[in-house]
Structure 1
């Protein structure tokens, strides 16, 4: 899934992250059972991939080999669920420059994560 349709993954994950910012129950489901919630939203992972959602993480999403698992195909995919951004600190100019790639800094509360 990830290799074949990365843009769809990013678009869908962004929508799910925004929903988690607004709905605490959904957020808890996403953290506790990410494979099911992601699959319900069209994001499926191959068998042997463990998916973790890390709440309020500053890390980028990562693929890694799980040292506790013995098979070569067993991987872990960690997805950061960033804290909700502080909208009061954002300006239209900053968002536009970030969106078009000319910003020298990431807007407050946002992460360049993928």
Structure 2
């Protein structure tokens, strides 16, 4: 069971990176990334400020932490402000520079606490 969950997480992460990279090549602004786990489903707009929409489950708090593995950067977690039902916006900029980032989204709410990690390509407009 644990192996299947890990495999699912890796597949979702790879799909997110592939989607973000190909979308950026095709042009346009930041692309929306969707991710899910056993407790919550989110839609993420990886721009500054980052916006997270919780589409399954009822989150009360959302915290964001960004890591850029290729550069060895890890930024401190930042909180969000609830901007509407299920809609959370980062209190400050999350990404320090353009590139591929891993964004860990910590959700706490009706289904307990969970972390969903997505990959996003951040590029200046």
Shorter chain as normaliser: what TM range?
0.3 to 0.5
TM-score by length of 2: 0.33
Structure with greater strand percent: 2
Structure with greater helix percent: 1
Compare relative contact order (CA 8 Å, sep 6+) and give the higher one, 1 or 2: 2
